[in-house]
Amino acid sequence: MPLVRMEGAAPILEDRGIRILFDAAEGDGLRCLSHAHMDHAGSPVDLNIMTGETHRIFASRKRYYRRYLESPLCVRIPLTESCSLTALNSGHMLGSSMFKLEADGLTVLYTGDMNVYDNILQRGAEQQDADVLIIEATYGSPVYKFPDREVVYYEIIKWITRTLAQGEIPALKVYSAGKAQEIVALINKTLNIPVLATPEVYSVSRVYKNTYRWMDFLKVGTREGHEAAKNGAVYVSSRRDVFRLVDKRVRWALATGWVLTRRQEGFDAYFPLSGHSDFHGLVSYVRNSDYKTVLTTYGFSSTLARHLRRLGVNAYSLEEKVQLKI
Ligand SMILES: [Zn+2]
């Protein structure tokens, strides 16, 4: 009978000597990497399975996986005679995937970080059936209810436009992979204004540009960027690192789901824009299929599991239950 347990920061699945590691789980085995965020990056020593986009984004962030098997979305990959694996869109960022494992009639779905809502660049995660669901719980507490994405987009555009009208440079502090490119795309699609990106945002955005050819951004510190920004620009960075650009004052905003509960000082505006599902998105994902067992992991895993049990779901937090036979 397969076992699921936490091994360090992430779960593993063990079945008759085969060890499937998810994301940053510790130990040896076949590692499934759900997306190119560093907190999910596992050891590059194992054989790593991921989408081509995830591999390229990791490389743009100077993390190289040389023993690597590409898992294009929706393509079933046989691992042994009785076990196969399929990567499926998880809606979190370019290349992000859930993994569906099928072995001896048992199906296990690991979501990685997931977003059930569509954004300007990609579709949300599609509903998938399985016997066992291992679902992330980053925002697995009822306090996290995000406004509609269109509303958040509208507020961001309004703030950018107002800041530019005041002769200042609007700057957004965001994660350099995923969120930054969503912001770049939003500005490209709605405003006729150059986007200046830090080198780390720029290199990931170049990978995005392979898929979204229309994306347009410049690297800060280059002559081209400086010239384009003279009449105004939007600055995108993962750090609040500048206070003047092209002789104009820089005004900062922060875009992350965490602004609903924690506000860092010193920002002019806060936008609850997240690459994750909120609590309600997670709960509806669980309830829209008939999973026999639901295991929660990361973030508010205990809170989400408790809430799901109250709804009659057979749910456990992997952080609480050290090991589970499925
Ligand atoms: Zn992530």
Looking at the predicted structure, is the pLDDT value of residue 44 above 80? no
- Is 320 or 188 the better-scoring residue by pLDDT? 188
Q: Place 40 in a pLDDT band, splitting at 50, 70 and 90.
A: confident
Span 169-183, average pLDDT: 98
For residue range 56-114, list pLDDT tens digits in order: 999 999 999 988 999 999 999 998 888 899 999 999 999 999 999 998 889 999 999 99
Looking at the predicted structure, is the pLDDT value of residue 188 above 80? yes
Of 132, 111, 133, 134, nearest to 277 (Cα)? 111
Distance 116 CA to ligand 1 centre (A): 14
Distance 306 CA to ligand 1 centre (A): 23
| Angstrom distances, CA of residue 54 to CA of 25, 29, 60, 97 | 17, 19, 10, 9
Distance 182 CA to ligand 1 centre (A): 14
Span 293-322, average pLDDT: 94
What pLDDT was estimated at residue 322? 65
Helix axes 199-211, 179-190, angle to 10 degrees: 70
Predicted TM-score (pTM) of this structure: 0.95
What pLDDT was estimated at residue 235? 98
Distance 38 CA to ligand 1 centre (A): 8
CA–CA–CA angle 109, 113, 114 (5° rounding): 75
| Residue 51 region by backbone torsions, left for phi larger than 0, else alpha for psi between -120 and 50, else beta | beta
Looking at the predicted structure, is the pLDDT value of residue 315 above 90? yes
Distance 115 CA to ligand 1 centre (A): 10
Distance 256 CA to ligand 1 centre (A): 12
What pLDDT was estimated at residue 121? 98
Q: Place 305 in a pLDDT band, splitting at 50, 70 and 90.
A: very high
Distance 162 CA to ligand 1 centre (A): 31
Q: What is the mean pLDDT of the chain?
A: 94
Distance 276 CA to ligand 1 centre (A): 8
Distance 254 CA to ligand 1 centre (A): 17
Distance 117 CA to ligand 1 centre (A): 15
Domains along the sequence of the chain with CATH: 3-144+276-325 (3.60.15.10), 149-271 (3.40.50.10890)
For residue range 274-286, list pLDDT tens digits in order: 999 999 999 999 9
Q: Place 2 in a pLDDT band, splitting at 50, 70 and 90.
A: confident
Looking at the predicted structure, is the pLDDT value of residue 45 above 80? no
Span 231-258, average pLDDT: 95
Dist. CA 172–CA 265, nearest whole Å: 14
What pLDDT was estimated at residue 189? 97
Distance 238 CA to ligand 1 centre (A): 14
Distance 124 CA to ligand 1 centre (A): 14
Distance 66 CA to ligand 1 centre (A): 22
Distance 112 CA to ligand 1 centre (A): 8
Span 226-255, average pLDDT: 94
